[in-house]
Amino acid sequence: MVDLSVAVTPLYFGTMAWERHALARRAEVEGPSAADYDRPDTTTSLAMGVLSLTGPITAYLVSFTVPFATGKGRGRSGRIGKVVLGVAATAAVATTVADRVARTADTATEAGRRLKARARKVAAVGGVAAIAGAGTVVAATSAHLTSASRWWRRKGAARDMGNGIVPWAIAMTWWDFAYYWNHRFMHQIRSQWAIHVVHHSSEHYNLSTALRQPVAGAFGVWVPYGLPARFGVRPAIIETSRALNLIYQYWFHTDTIRTMGAAEAVLNTPSHHRVHHGSNQRYLDRNHGGI
- Residue-range definition of the domain harbouring residue 186: 1-55+160-291
Per-residue confidence (pLDDT) for residue 78, from 0 to 100 = 80
| Whether residues 45 and 71 fall in one domain | no
Does 165 reside within a domain?
yes
Per-residue confidence (pLDDT) for residue 283, from 0 to 100 = 85
- Specify the 3-state DSSP secondary structure of 57: helix
Under 8 Å between Cβ of 213 and 197? no
Q: How many domains does the chain have?
A: 2
Does 60 reside within a domain?
no
| Whether residues 120 and 249 fall in one domain | no
What mean pLDDT is predicted for residues 19-31?
96
Does 61 reside within a domain?
no
Give 164's DSSP letter. Answer: S
73 has a pLDDT exceeding 70: no
Give the residue from 60, 36, 16, 45 showing the smallest Cα distance to 198.
45
Please state the φ and ψ torsions of residue 155, each to the nearest 5 degrees: -130, -45
Does 153 reside within a domain?
no
Under 8 Å between Cβ of 11 and 182? no
| Whether residues 274 and 180 fall in one domain | yes
Does 154 reside within a domain?
no
Distance, in Å, from the CA atom of 283 to the CA atom of 264, rounded to the nearest integer, reads 17
Give the residue from 284, 212, 194, 216 showing the smallest Cα distance to 250.
212
Distance, in Å, from the CA atom of 197 to the CA atom of 288, rounded to the nearest integer, reads 14
- The separation between the first and the last C-alpha atoms of the chain, rounded to the nearest angstrom, is 24
| Whether residues 250 and 175 fall in one domain | yes
What mean pLDDT is predicted for residues 80-96?
94
Q: Output the CA torsion 238→239→240→246 (10° steps).
A: 110
Q: Which of 118, 145, 172 finishes a domain?
A: 145
| Whether residues 169 and 274 fall in one domain | yes
For residue range 186-210, list pLDDT tens digits in order: 999 999 999 999 999 999 999 999 9
Does 38 reside within a domain?
yes
Give 206's DSSP letter. Answer: S
DSSP 253-287: S-SS----GGGGGTS--HHHHHHHH--SGGGTT--
Give the residue from 20, 54, 28, 12 showing the smallest Cα distance to 211.
12
| Whether residues 166 and 270 fall in one domain | yes
Task: Give the Å distances, CA to CA, from 80 to 70, 85, 93, 129, 260.
Answer: 13, 9, 20, 16, 52
| Whether residues 183 and 252 fall in one domain | yes
| Whether residues 203 and 286 fall in one domain | yes
Q: Output the CA torsion 219→220→223→227 (10° steps).
A: -10
**Residue bearing the bigger pLDDT, 69 or 202:** 202
| Whether residues 113 and 209 fall in one domain | no
pLDDT category of residue 1 using cuts at 50, 70 and 90:
low
| Whether residues 264 and 135 fall in one domain | no
| Whether residues 83 and 195 fall in one domain | no
| Whether residues 97 and 188 fall in one domain | no
Per-residue confidence (pLDDT) for residue 281, from 0 to 100 = 86
Where do runs of H (alpha helix) occur along the chain? 4-7, 9-30, 39-52, 55-62, 75-104, 110-145, 148-154, 165-188, 190-196, 235-251, 270-277
pLDDT category of residue 3 using cuts at 50, 70 and 90:
confident
Give the residue from 179, 97, 91, 191 showing the smallest Cα distance to 135.
191
Average predicted confidence (pLDDT) for the chain: 93
Does 195 reside within a domain?
yes
Q: Which of 107, 122, 145 finishes a domain?
A: 145
Q: Which of 120, 145, 170 finishes a domain?
A: 145
Does 152 reside within a domain?
no
